[in-house]
Amino acid sequence: MNCTYVLNRLSPYMDGELSGDEMLRVKTHLQGCARCAKSYDSCVALKHLVSKMPGRQPDPEFEARLLSAMRNLRAETAKADTMAIWPSWRMAVALAAAAVAAFGVLYFRDDPNTGQNNLTASQEIALDQDWNNAASAFPANTLPAGLEGN
d(CA 21, CA 28): 11
**pTM, two decimal places:** 0.39
Specify the pLDDT at position 41.
Answer: 93
**CA separation for the pair 58, 62 (Å, rounded):** 6
Whole-angstrom Cα distance, residue 97 to residue 7?
A: 61
For residue 114, what pLDDT is reported? 52
State the Cα–Cα distance between residues 106 and 121, nearest whole angstrom: 11
What pLDDT, on the 0 to 100 scale, is given for residue 24? 93
Nearest to 27 by CA among 9, 42, 43, 47: 9
* Tens place of pLDDT per residue across the chain (150 aa): 789 999 999 999 998 998 989 999 999 999 999 999 999 999 999 988 888 888 878 788 888 888 888 888 877 776 666 656 656 667 778 888 888 888 777 766 655 555 556 667 777 777 777 777 665 655 555 555 665 554
